[in-house]
């Protein structure tokens, strides 16, 4: 359906606002460059105030950058107003026309673009099929559930056949279960249409589930851009590691090299990690260990003491101490495994390859 797939490129973009409290200027977005491939689904993720929405609004044209240039395909678009940009935005608030029915809401953007009546009917019908609202054309939007309203909002954006679809926390107003099913729907529709999508959320599981690439933002800058797997398994720094999923940080000095492995001394315990060439004896490192990547055993690993053991259904949640370092574990499928109790001393076992060293 999309005419041609276009990517989005930001080159050294900055946005300066005035802090209302201090009256001083600050960078909401600072010297940000990124390249979004045509047809891909990219999510901007980060804590409140990190500059996600400002970045999205600059792509849409609702805000203009103070520095840098934005490109849609090969076209520089800084000077274009939002309606000239070949983008469409789906808002958190849905932004539907309250006194119109579903058909007229979806048709609105085509009417103001003076599309012939017959073609409007055809395109609206097709889009309503895509978002699974066929047969509901005459329902007023105030008679719809939140999920249905969001589908109308999505249809309104898609019907004008933009090259890029922008989403500003579109699922925030829905309950948890509906959010999960709608995010799958959004991904299905994006893939079916083959459109480029830029999506803002502060929900990390939403970002993981929906995206080809995730951009983690922190204080107006990009902390990391990568596939969900790269972000999860090879975070650039502690901020990224901590922001996405649960994590343990094992801090210590490299003691020795053992072939392709390195030994890091964490509170007097030897932690074996895969040695990449960058590791140097005597230097301090942080090993990132995900809770599901380790298990408890009677022996054969790093000595530890259990301080919490809690049945969670699909996993047993443990907190153990390795020296003075707290390590959180998730032992999945615990039914037929030995369950350790608080106070037990045992062994923390993990493959060196499952640790990422910062």
Least separation, in Å, of the C-beta of 142 and ligand ATP? 26
**How many Å apart are CA 86 and CA 202, to the nearest integer?**
26
Query: Nearer Cβ to ligand ATP, position 48 or 81?
Result: 48
Report whether 157 contacts 193 (CB < 8 A).
Answer: no
Least separation, in Å, of the C-beta of 288 and ligand ATP? 24
Least separation, in Å, of the C-beta of 39 and ligand ATP? 25
Structure tokens given for 121: 């009917």
Least separation, in Å, of the C-beta of 25 and ligand ATP? 10
The reply to whether 135 sits near ligand ATP by the rule CB under 6 A is: no
Structure tokens given for 300: 């054969």
The reply to whether 54 sits near ligand ATP by the rule CB under 6 A is: yes
Query: Nearer Cβ to ligand ATP, position 15 or 290?
Result: 15
Query: Nearer Cβ to ligand ATP, position 163 or 201?
Result: 201
Where do the H-state alpha helices sit in the chain? 52-60, 102-112, 117-130, 146-159, 176-193, 204-210, 228-233, 238-243
The reply to whether 46 sits near ligand ATP by the rule CB under 6 A is: yes
**What string marks each residue from 196 to 225 as x (binds ligand ATP by CB under 6 A) or -?**
------x-----------------------
**How many Å apart are CA 88 and CA 192, to the nearest integer?**
17
| Beta-carbon contacts of residue 268 (< 8 Å; ≥ 6 apart) | 323
Least separation, in Å, of the C-beta of 208 and ligand ATP? 17
Restricted to residues 136-175, the positions that interact with ligand ATP (CB under 6 A) are: none
**341 burial level (CB within 10 Å; 0-12, 13-18, 19+):** exposed
Least separation, in Å, of the C-beta of 54 and ligand ATP? 3
The reply to whether 53 sits near ligand ATP by the rule CB under 6 A is: yes
Query: Nearer Cβ to ligand ATP, position 49 or 135?
Result: 49
Least separation, in Å, of the C-beta of 49 and ligand ATP? 4
Restricted to residues 3-42, the positions that interact with ligand ATP (CB under 6 A) are: 17, 28
What is the number of other CB atoms lying within 10 angstroms of the CB of residue 346? 20
What are the two backbone dihedrals, phi and then psi, of residue 194, each rounded to the nearest 5 degrees? Answer: 75, 30
No. of H helices and E strands in the chain?
8, 20
Query: Nearer Cβ to ligand ATP, position 39 or 51?
Result: 51
The reply to whether 52 sits near ligand ATP by the rule CB under 6 A is: yes
Query: Nearer Cβ to ligand ATP, position 28 or 189?
Result: 28
**How many Å apart are CA 333 and CA 267, to the nearest integer?**
30
> In angstroms, what CA-CA distances link 220 with 31, 47, 170, 226, 263?
8, 10, 21, 18, 36
Query: Nearer Cβ to ligand ATP, position 58 or 189?
Result: 58
Strand order in the sheet with 325-332: 294-297, 345-350, 302-311, 315-322, 325-332
Report whether 216 contacts 205 (CB < 8 A).
Answer: no
**Which of 48, 74, 81, 324 lies at the binding interface for ligand ATP (CB under 6 A)?**
48
Residues forming contacts to ligand ATP in the complex (CB under 6 A) are: 17, 28, 46, 48-54, 202
């Amino acid at each position: 359906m999309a005419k041609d797939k276009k990517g989005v490129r930001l080159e050294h973009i900055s946005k300066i606002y005035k802090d209302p409290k201090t009256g001083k200027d600050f960078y909401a977005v600072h010297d940000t460059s990124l390249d979004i491939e045509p047809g891909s689904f990219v999510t901007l993720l980060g804590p409140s105030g990190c500059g996600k929405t400002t970045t999205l609004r600059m792509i849409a044209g609702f805000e203009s950058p103070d520095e840098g240039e934005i490109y849609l395909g090969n076209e520089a678009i800084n000077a274009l107003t939002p309606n000239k940009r070949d983008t469409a935005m789906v808002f958190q608030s849905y932004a539907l026309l309250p006194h119109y029915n579903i058909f007229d809401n979806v048709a609105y953007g085509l009417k103001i673009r003076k599309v012939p009546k017959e073609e409007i009917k055809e395109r609206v019908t097709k889009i309503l099929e895509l978002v699974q609202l066929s047969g509901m054309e005459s329902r007023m939007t105030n008679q719809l559930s939140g999920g249905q309203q969001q589908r109308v909002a999505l249809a309104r954006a898609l019907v004008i056949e933009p090259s890029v679809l922008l989403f500003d926390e579109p699922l925030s107003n829905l309950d948890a279960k509906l959010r999960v099913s709608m995010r799958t729907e959004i991904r299905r529709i994006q893939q079916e249409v083959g459109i480029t999508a830029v999506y803002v959320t502060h929900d990390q599981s939403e970002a993981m589930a929906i995206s080809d690439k995730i951009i983690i933002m922190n204080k107006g800058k990009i902390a990391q851009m990568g596939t969900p797997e790269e972000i999860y398994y090879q975070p650039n720094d502690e901020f990224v590691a901590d922001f996405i999923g649960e994590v343990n940080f094992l801090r210590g000095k490299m003691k020795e090299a053992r072939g392709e492995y390195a030994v890091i001394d964490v509170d007097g315990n030897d932690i074996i990690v895969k040695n990449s060439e960058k590791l140097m004896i005597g230097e301090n490192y942080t090993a990132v260990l995900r809770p599901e990547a380790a298990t408890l055993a009677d022996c054969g690993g790093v000595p530890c003491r259990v301080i919490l053991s809690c049945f969670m259904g699909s996993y047993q949640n443990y907190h153990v101490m390795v020296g003075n370092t707290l390590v959180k574990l998730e032992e999945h499928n615990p039914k037929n495994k030995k369950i350790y109790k608080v106070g037990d001393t045992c062994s923390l076992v993990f493959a060196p390859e499952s640790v990422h060293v910062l």
